[in-house]
Structure 1
Amino acid sequence: MGIFDVRKIDCHAHVLDPLRFPYAQGAAYRPSGQEIGTTDQFVEVLQCYGTEHVLLVQPNSGYGPDNSCMLDAIRRYPGIFKGVAIASLDADLSHLRDLRDQGIVGIALNPTFYGNDFYADSPALMEKLAELDMFVQIQVQHDQLLMFKPWIERIAVRVLIDHCGRPTPEQGLAQPGFSALLDLAETGRVHVKLSGYAKFAKTPYPFRDTLPFVRALVEAFGLDHCMWASDWPYLRAADRQDYGPLLKLLDTLFPDPADRDILLWQTPKRLFGFGA
């Protein structure tokens, strides 16, 4: 059975619809042209490739903490979408519960966008998320994870790491940030998205310089703590990305159909409750 025919869940994508949901005033980056991807456009893409469910992620670009566009997608297609929202670091339990009731499974932190200093007070939010059994999702690059590692080890919160931790390929597997990520496998609470290769690769598709990092993550975490994601519609991509080739890359990375089933279906279905 081909990769387009098997059951699968996409664990990181965005919806952007500036006509129905205008971008925030003063947004630092306003996606345009091929970066824009509406909910209805995305549903058509999913049907073409046989993707049954998606974990949407609120984009800092365009919308920032205004989750309206994403929440609308979840309301309109509750059988397809769940989400990871953006919330204030001092968000109270009532607000987080309200988001959870609307199909939100976690809150995103993005030091690649705001820098580490912006998140100096994030442990309090992580503790609330642990209390509610929600995820904290963290997108870091280079060695930014080092600040978060002690908090992740101390606070019993479930964690999603975006885009393989966005290591620096030329610095190898022993670079401090990536080594810290591998160490976090011991917690049993950290999960990694095998995605976003274009965000850290120095080579074009099929991103061969990222493959050692993908293999190291799978070896450390196991497929029951890893998941696949497309990162559609590829915000700020330096060159063209497409859904189909990114899926086909899994045939090279994971030739065993049983492994692909765990990565694409079993793990995300268990973690996020799709189909429940």
Structure 2
Amino acid sequence: MNIFDEPKIDCHNHVLDPVRHPYAADVAYRPAGQEIGTLAQHRLVMDSYGIRHALVVGPNSGYGLDNRCLLDTLAASGGRYKGIAVVRNDTSREELQRLQQAGVVGVAFNATIHGVDHYLDSAPMLRHLADLGLFIQAQVTDDQMVGLAPLLLDSGARILIDHAGRPVPSRGLQQPGFQAVLDLARSGRAVVKLSGHQKYSAGPWPYDDAEPHVRALVDAYGLDACVWASDWPFLRAGERLDMGPLLRLVERWWPDPADRRRLLWDTPRRLFQFGQAG
């Protein structure tokens, strides 16, 4: 069995369908062309690569705080997909419960777009997340995690770190932001996505300068707190990307099928409570 046949869960991907779900009027970026990925296209890609479940992330691009496309996607999946929603910092417990009942397992903070200060008034909402067992998914870059980590830790919520913390590879493993990402492992509440290497690597596939950071994350978190994701359909990518080479990279970095099983299937299935078949 090769990696294309092995059971997999993709823990970061998007559905964008501006025909059925027009973009919000006030978004800064409107995906177009090959960045668009409808539900039908999403299903076809996931089926073609043996991806049995997906954690679909509501994008700031295109939809902003409008979760209707995400919720329609979850409803149509019959439980195959779970979601990460984008919400207001003052979202009520009742609204979070409604999203949870629809298949949402967390909400997204994207400091790479909004900055850290944008989220500093969100502590009450984060306590609701903690009470409900939902994740706060944090996307940061450079040293942003230094400023955001205290808020995440104080919240008591489960933490999902996006795209390996998006370090700057030329600054090495000791850069403060990456050290803050590594330190979150000690909380016992944090999980990291080993994904989005094209967003922070200085070079093309196989992202050689990203590998030391990925290895450090696995050492700190262990494969029981690491998941994989594609980032399909690759918004704002600087070059053409495809799912196949990303999976081959997983095979290259984790040649042991037992390790891949934990990363691609066992850990995300347990964390996000996907179906138990397989």
TM-score bracket for the superposition, by shorter chain length: over 0.9
Amino acid aligned to 2:47: Q
What's the TM-score once normalised by structure 2's chain length? 0.98
2: CA distance, partners of 1:78 / 1:21? 20
> How big is the shift at 1:212?
0.2
Amino acid aligned to 1:157: A
> In structure 2, the residue corresponding to 1:62 is in which secondary structure?
helix
Match of 2:203 in 1: 203
Q: Would you say 1:144 and 2:172 are equivalent positions?
A: no
> How big is the shift at 1:148?
1.7
| Cα deviation 1:60-100 (Å, max 9, x = unaligned) | 00000101111111111123211000111001100000000
Q: CA RMSD in A?
A: 0.8
Match of 1:270 in 2: 270
Match of 2:19 in 1: 19
Fraction of identical pairs, as percent: 54
Amino acid aligned to 2:152: I
Amino acid aligned to 2:188: G
| Cα deviation 1:94-141 (Å, max 9, x = unaligned) | 000000000000000001011112112122221110011100000000
1: CA distance, partners of 2:123 / 2:203? 36
| Cα deviation 1:227-276 (Å, max 9, x = unaligned) | 00000000000001100110110111101110000000000000001016
Match of 1:113 in 2: 113
| Structure 1 gaps, min length 5 | none
Match of 1:239 in 2: 239
2:93–2:125: 8 Å Cα contact kept in structure 1? no
> How big is the shift at 1:155?
2.5
Amino acid aligned to 1:172: G
> How big is the shift at 1:40?
0.6
Match of 2:101 in 1: 101
> In structure 1, the residue corresponding to 2:152 is in which secondary structure?
helix
CA gap of 1:27–1:154, structure 2 versus 1, over 3 A, is closer
Match of 1:68 in 2: 68
Alignment of 1:120-199 (within 5 A): 120-199=120-199
Aligned length: 276
Match of 1:81 in 2: 81
> In structure 1, the residue corresponding to 2:107 is in which secondary structure?
strand
> How big is the shift at 1:15?
0.3
> How big is the shift at 1:26?
2.2
- Segments ≥4 residues shifted beyond 6 Å: none
| Structure 2 gaps, min length 5 | none
> In structure 2, the residue corresponding to 1:141 is in which secondary structure?
coil
> In structure 2, the residue corresponding to 1:136 is in which secondary structure?
strand
1: CA distance, partners of 2:23 / 2:102? 21
2: CA distance, partners of 1:143 / 1:250? 26
2: CA distance, partners of 1:122 / 1:161? 17
Match of 1:42 in 2: 42
Amino acid aligned to 2:208: R
